[in-house]
Structure 1
């Protein structure tokens, strides 16, 4: 058996899509649900002040007179991280999760490691481009027998803290948590995020999953499974 990658972090920071959960699942299930249900959701709630504000903000940001729903769907197709889209996305997903039409997803190896690390006392934080609301819904609604796993995480960050490919975002996260960046271990499948985090002083791990088609990158230590990682300063987490 290959030797494990060994780190001694005080805190672990995790990406979601392609790292601890399936990127194709998120695309095929969550974003497909959003695309199919956003128009009907908005149409049924045109008198809701929050929805009205989102539509108004969408038109202002787009700078044209197009139907704002059409604009939102266009942004979704472009994977644009626009604030109005992020807000309505969370609301549509809330409805989907609360009605049981949506469920989350976790890779088995990631879930096993996170449960082990949590039991050992390791603080686990999430940094994802999806809104904090979307993240918590995702973790609260895992298929049975997994169920609600929100208890595993100390907290969540989204792009309100900054873009995931920008170095200052990781400095802000370390400051918000109150940890030395050198003690904040970051896992992601995206080399651009790893470059930004490394520049901020974070140790990083590249998660390279065959089922995701992730390519290796010689600049970073890599794993194919979270079973390949050992946290040496948390003995029960090994």
Structure 2
């Protein structure tokens, strides 16, 4: 098993009355999840909890490829559970983003839907490994603005894909080999609203794992803390 260290934290922020984010760390299975709910009190928090609870109860399988499929199935099961809850409530908007990281056999795989993100620090350089499922993401991919600029666009919160939204859920996937010294950051947009690439890189580059999540959280809260904030950092030792 690859030697890993991690830290995780979530915060309601300075404005919201409910934390609709949920996080999950299962170091024994080398799985980490951030989910950002939407739908208000008793909606968004239900959705994000449904996502992490479903992943937390997925079966433990020996084969890495089978385990990745179990992770995918657990998120799809959460999607179906949320749809049933929406029907039981007579409609409405309930959903959640998800970004899930699994590490096995010196490789990583990430599944995601929405605008919660996975970054990697490697060799002192930061890279965003996910691509937001949002209206402004299309403008970034078309070269009209940067990801940092997109955070300040009027439609920055308009996501186009989420768990619990639409009949079928499509999860995107990125995978690759690990290098010693890799550092992964999973986060909700409550952090990235206040921390662009340079700010994230500076915070992640030399900060010890014991305090890096607190440092990132302070950046988001000092910036305004208008949203819930969730942060998981995983180091490849």
TM-score normalised by structure 2 residue count: 0.28
Between structures 1 and 2, the one with greater strand share: 2
Between structures 1 and 2, the one with greater helix share: 1
TM-score normalised by structure 1 residue count: 0.28
